[in-house]
Structure 1
Amino acid sequence: MLAEADGRWATPVVHDWDVHATVAHLLAADEALAGRLGIAARVPAGAPPRDTGWEDVWDRRTAEVIAHEYGRAPEETLASWSAQAAALLATPEARDTERAARAETLMGMRLPVADHFVVRAFETWIHTDDIGRALGRAVPPPPEGHLGRMVRLAVRVLGLALGRETAPVLLSVTGVEQWVLGSADDPVRAELALDPVDLCLLLGGRRTPEEVPRHTTGDAAAVRNVLERAASLAWL
């Protein structure tokens, strides 16, 4: 898709980013995992202030990389991001299950390295869809197996965010599986069925709890709590 973006790099996409800035953001976003795996940053970075939360570091680094990349041709930014992605996929952690099982804390989440790769795939797809909509191009969902991995990780993170004190809801994701979220000691209060792509778009901040298509039964407040908590996890 980006190979066909000639002459349209300044098209507004999301937030206050155009196509060029969105690719620069992906270059910045992949850096955290790349750095942990020994890949040097492609844009010089200043040291963040001490005691800075990951969200502020994330926002500051995105702004820094976008400003740097605006001084280069969009094709150069694309080449840098593509090369960094290729370097990530060439690391031993991308192939060796033992190395991939090592836990790392990135973006406030302690997850196996393998799951951080899934997070990178998730964000890349979300922003590809953003660019596609801006350019009037339909972007297909990830392959079924990849989408299933994204959904399972997303539900795991959502379950942790909800905790064990909330009213239990049976969440069914079409074509994937189902989970009981919330308290394990109380009877299920409601059922919520979602399409896997809609769930990912909700967690990615591209659907609101009010507009996401779903099928529900039972306690409406319990369902609303799950949907609102899912939407609150979006950082994209």
Structure 2
Amino acid sequence: MSGAYEENEGFDRTDGNGGDAAAPGPGEPETLGKPDEPDVVGGSADPGGPEAPDGPVPLDGAKPAPRIPLPRASVEDGEDPLPSPGRTVPLVLEHPVLKSLLGAWALAACSPEESAAVDEHLGECGACADEALRLREAVVLLQRPESLDLDPALRTRVLEGCLERRPPRIPVPEWAAPYDAETARLDALLQDFGDSEWHAPVRLRWFEADGTASRRTTVAGVIAHLLTVDGLVAVALGLADPLGEITAPTPAPASRTEAYWRASHYPPTRAVRGPWREQSHGIVRTASFTGSRSGRMPVSYGDFELPLHDAMLDRAFECWVHAEDIAEAVDYPYEPPAPRHLNRMIDLAARLLPDVLAARRLAGLSPGGTRRHLVAAGEPGRSLRLEIEGSGGGEWLIPLDSPGAVGSADHEVAHVALDGVEFCRLAAGHVSPVEAAAGQVGDREAIRDVLFAAASLSRM
């Protein structure tokens, strides 16, 4: 500090009287001015006067800096870029480290900083970008597509859990459970439909005279169709006929449906859901009250009859098939029935095949009819092994010669394997027998007869 003073020319270290100022003693600070005057640097001459500003007063007499700083300039007024809110600053990592993070990046397991670093690196490194694309595609393959629908078996599991705690006073018969489940699933699909969905076009398809047939209607028209055909079961149980005073030419399902459609002054609307729902509940409730002894009660379909337990399976099958038609019309996913219910539906179709084969022979629609061997009722005859794969599958031996014959593995002449859902769509007339994805071994004519007979099970 004394060196700075010596550089000023003409500066004399004297006291106020012209004498030399006393040199500071050891440990005493060196002061400016007279010894009896207070030092104004960093303080106030008058203890009671105005408070001096913080910090030293400039020696050149400039205005001291204010104690309270002035407001800072806004960042928008400067030339610096504005900060990006939420923007993650990527880490600076070496190439091997970034490459090792690609797997975690594809699984979305990186931290935000690591993800930002990898994203920035992928824009510069083509090899890593290709590897990241392959890893992302692999992750997609590992993920199962999730349906918006609930698991079809969820209703069954919930009911079983409830029934284990408190058994019902009047249980639903096993043969009525598939119909109960499928009508409940379809009702759940319909509950959120708006007017546009109820009037969405639907094409009903079935197999007739070895060719495809179809009928154009709407979602509401499909529910009206289910209402009128389910009415055959309702009438057999002593319930009211949904046709009321409408007269159908024949009691066949197609005739009843056409009569109901023609009697409507306007196309069916969402109002049809209420009667269909009440009727399905009434069918299940009445079947439960009558008990298992009513399962053999005949239900007339016009040109044929089914016992009640098979008729309920038939209605459950058609409810599922038409629910898929509705879901397809509104572009909504729909799952197959629960495996044990699907197995019962397939079993019904397999048991009906011998009668359908015989009817096709009488109508001259079976090329293999000339090779038929007469077999007495209850005797084993030529058989086809029908193997159904997937959930609800199994094996059935279909007698080929006469409805009364018994399928026998010793007389097996052909073997057909199909997926369970594929077989059901074949039986619903949604898949042509020629296009059915079936594994075939053995007698080609017998295989063709059985596939066409399965498609002939369908109807409107």
* Structure 2 letter corresponding to 1:178: E
CA distance in 2: counterparts of 1:180 and 1:159, whole angstroms: 10
Equivalent pair of 1:43/1:68 in contact (CA under 8 Å): no
Partner of 2:224: 24
Specify the SS of the correspondent of 1:91: helix
Equivalent pair of 1:24/1:69 in contact (CA under 8 Å): no
Match of 1:180 among 397, 404, 413: 397
Establish whether residue 218 from structure 1 lines up as the match of residue 405 from structure 2.
Answer: no
- Displacement of 1:223: 1.0
* Structure 1 letter corresponding to 2:190: L
Uncovered stretches (5+) of structure 2, i.e. residues with no partner: 1-188, 204-214, 359-368, 374-381, 402-406
Q: RMSD over aligned Cα, in angstroms?
A: 2.4
CA distance in 2: counterparts of 1:230 and 1:95, whole angstroms: 32
Specify the SS of the correspondent of 1:66: helix
Match of 2:384 among 163, 166, 169: 169
Q: CA 1:35–1:176 in structure 2 vs 1: closer, same or farther (change >3 Å)?
A: same
Establish whether residue 8 from structure 1 lines up as the match of residue 226 from structure 2.
Answer: no
Equivalent pair of 2:221/2:268 in contact (CA under 8 Å): no
Equivalent pair of 1:21/1:70 in contact (CA under 8 Å): no
- Displacement of 1:233: 2.1
Q: Judging by fraction of residues, say which structure has more helix.
A: 1
Length, aligned pairs only: 231
CA distance in 2: counterparts of 1:111 and 1:42, whole angstroms: 20
Q: Deviations over 1:172-203 (max 9, x none)?
A: 11253212221458832211011111111111
- Displacement of 1:78: 0.6
Equivalent pair of 1:189/1:219 in contact (CA under 8 Å): yes
CA distance in 1: counterparts of 2:331 and 2:248, whole angstroms: 38
Which of these two proteins has the greater Rg computed from alpha carbons?
A: 2
Instruction: After TM superposition, list the pairs within 5 Å mapping 1:1-236 onto structure 2.
Output: 1-6=189-194, 7-14=196-203, 15-49=215-249, 52=250, 54-55=251-252, 58-68=253-263, 71=266, 74-92=269-287, 96-163=291-358, 165=372, 168-174=383-389, 175-181=392-398, 182-183=400-401, 184=407, 187-236=411-460
- Displacement of 1:59: 2.4
- Displacement of 1:235: 0.7
Equivalent pair of 1:93/1:100 in contact (CA under 8 Å): no
CA distance in 1: counterparts of 2:226 and 2:322, whole angstroms: 8
Aligned-residue sequence identity (percent) comes to 29
- Displacement of 1:45: 3.4
Which of the pair has the greater relative contact order for Cα pairs under 8 Å at 6+ separation? 1
Q: Deviations over 1:35-55 (max 9, x none)?
A: 111111234234445xx5x54
- Displacement of 1:114: 1.1
Specify the SS of the correspondent of 2:412: coil
So what's the TM-score if we normalise by structure 2?
0.47
So what's the TM-score if we normalise by structure 1?
0.87
Q: Deviations over 1:88-117 (max 9, x none)?
A: 111045761111233333353333211111
Specify the SS of the correspondent of 1:16: strand
Could you tell which deviates more after superposition, 191-200 or 212-221? 212-221
* Structure 1 letter corresponding to 2:270: E
Could you tell which deviates more after superposition, 186-195 or 19-28? 186-195
Could you tell which deviates more after superposition, 137-146 or 94-103? 94-103
Uncovered stretches (5+) of structure 1, i.e. residues with no partner: none
CA distance in 1: counterparts of 2:271 and 2:412, whole angstroms: 53
